[in-house]
A and B are shown apart, each in its own frame.
Chain A
Amino acid sequence: MSEALLRATGLRLAFGGVRAADGIDLDVMKGEFLAIIGPNGAGKTTFINMTTGYLKPNAGEIAYEGRRITGLSPRAIVKLGIARSFQLPQLFLEHTVEQNVALAVAARMGIWSPLAPLLRPSHRDEARDILARFGLTAIADSRADALNEGARKLADIAMAVALKPRLLLMDEPTSGVAASEKMTIVETLVNVLRDAKVTAVFVEHDMDVVERFADRVAVWSQGRIAALGPPAEVLADPAVQREVIGIERHPTKEAPHA
């Protein structure tokens, strides 16, 4: 029987009158890929922000490997082995892709060496290895502000992976990525994460991606978890279909009321 790597209990957070988290209880199991789906504004990103220390819940607590992490700073939480990527990629725009990833490597190894170069052989090799696994070798020397959306997204995740986390939270890893590239990118991602034995939580809008890669799906609705279980089961639930999938699965082909 697998154990919970991350355990959230009774998380509540309100912004003004909006309840972004209204009693979230969730266990993330070691080694699983957990997808979070749900309409915009349901509080999916808020959950990631609370887990990574960017937001503090009004009530409830988050435990990681049995240790309470609510109230810790983002920096302290990263050090414990939780990394995240962003819905809007957060790259160092004036650096190259290789430097971006090397900075993450350096961040993990300790950055307080003022005289040895960032791109010393050890850091550079590791950065290049990660870029190769993400298929980004060709753009390693491009400046981050010159990339297309898909590459930016991958570079953003590559930086998080370079931190060697045991838990990786990804906020819409495939949004903004061209439909034709989507499956390839996710395939790459899953391989990288499985190799590295990383537990992953990802917010996703594309149900094909969810069906294919998630071990479990959590459906978010108005700050609560409306359903939780294996994709085949959850996605077949008529209530879930009505609330989430019906509008989101093929938004261009089907009218919302269909």
Chain B
Amino acid sequence: MKRIEPILALALAGAIIAAAVAAPWLRFVLTIALAKGIAVMGILLLLRAGQVSFGHALYIAFGAYTVAFLAPRVGDAVVLLPLAALGAGALGLLIGLFVTRYRQIFFGMLNLAMSMVFYSLLEKLYHFTKGSDGIRVEIMPVAGQALDRIAYEWTIFGIALGLAFALGLLLRLYLASPMGEALAGIKTRETRLEFMGVPARGVLLSAYVLSAMVGGLGGALIALTSRHVTPLLAYWTSSGELVFIAILGGAGGVLGPFLGATAYELIRVYAAASFADAWQMILGASLLLVILFAPGGVWGMAARAVGGRGR
């Protein structure tokens, strides 16, 4: 299964490009899916250590607002993306120093608390953030090139796809490295790590900062695509959505987040269009079905279809 992962990744990328070309409205949906997939890689990283963050929407919102605030000043997507990632990484380091002292429920709830504090600040500091109205993001040049709307959207789509590929590859290497394997060791025998001279908290903190960075990057891409940021990006249900996507995709492979995000966004768009009042219900029911009847997620189903092991 590991070996055909790159082939599957190429096939998925091909399918996404074909869908985006075939239907312009899908291009928007799929860019958002790629952005969320990038952010969910961070959730995957923490799940490796057996930890569930119920507050990672914080970093998405941070990345998105970084773009919204700096766009009038910096005004180039290529500069804003790394800025958002670095900013989110710095915030992740700050918060991570605190939350990585905790495990399980406390870890999850402290992350939730942090994201809710951020959400409240975005809502209440109206003169700065425009409160729940949010901030509009104008179409901006990319790498110095002024683009029309269609070209701009295609460019952001391309950047998202490229980043998804590059980061997916890096994540794959990371997970197989001593740091990644020690991260998985936190899940099963954290004390042993300490007795081997490995600082478990440092291992978790590194992963946490990385997860914040990809969260910020995903958020920046979302802001560049939807061109409107609101505090809802940081609300706890958005964090739940990220964990949802991780499980929907299947926590096994690096492709999982992208399979999950694509499935999630498509179900959401379809459900919202067909049953405007019940789209949450449909998403919730899909999640229940996946958990109860397809424990490996979409990735697991794909793996079984191909006939390999689910990992």
- Direct A–B touching in the complex (beta carbon < 8 Å)? yes
- Chain A positions near chain B (C-beta within 8 angstroms): 52, 54, 73-75, 78-79, 83-84, 90-95, 99, 103-104, 106-108, 111-119, 123, 159, 163
The answer on a CB contact under 8 Å between A92 and B173 is: no
- Closest A residue to B191 by beta carbon equals A90
B interface residue count range (under 10 / 10 to 19 / 20 to 34 / 35 or more): 20 to 34
User: Known: A78-B197, A95-B184. Is A118-B192 also a contact (CB below 8 A)?
Assistant: no
Question: Which B residues are CB-close (under 8 A) to A99?
Answer: 181
Report the minimum CB–CB distance from B177 to chain A (whole Å): 5
In the bound complex, CA of A254 to CA of B37 (Å): 66
User: Known: A92-B189, A94-B187. Is A103-B195 also a contact (CB below 8 A)?
Assistant: no
Question: Which B residues are CB-close (under 8 A) to A52?
Answer: 195
- Chain B positions near chain A (C-beta within 8 angstroms): 170, 173-174, 176-182, 184-185, 187-189, 191-199, 203, 206
Report the minimum CB–CB distance from B40 to chain A (whole Å): 19
Cβ 8 A contact of A104, one of B173, B188, B191, B196? B196
In the bound complex, CA of A11 to CA of B118 (Å): 50
In the bound complex, CA of A118 to CA of B179 (Å): 8
The answer on a CB contact under 8 Å between B195 and A95 is: no
| Beyond A75-B197, A92-B192, 11 extra complex contacts between A and B, CB < 8 Å | A75-B198, A75-B199, A79-B197, A90-B195, A91-B189, A95-B185, A107-B196, A107-B197, A112-B179, A114-B177, A118-B178
Question: Which B residues are CB-close (under 8 A) to A74?
Answer: 194-195
Cβ 8 A contact of A90, one of B173, B177, B189? B189
Instruction: Specify the main secondary structure of chain A where it touches its partner.
Output: loop
7 contacts between A and B (CB under 8 A): A79-B197, A93-B189, A106-B181, A113-B179, A114-B179, A117-B176, A118-B177
Cβ 8 A contact of B182, one of A73, A78, A83, A111? A111
In the bound complex, CA of A74 to CA of B200 (Å): 12
Cβ 8 A contact of B184, one of A78, A92, A111, A159? A92
The answer on a CB contact under 8 Å between A113 and B188 is: no
In the bound complex, CA of A74 to CA of B199 (Å): 10
The answer on a CB contact under 8 Å between B189 and A113 is: no
The 10 closest A-B pairs by CB, nearest first: A78-B197, A106-B178, A111-B178, A107-B196, A90-B192, A93-B188, A92-B185, A115-B173, A117-B176, A118-B181
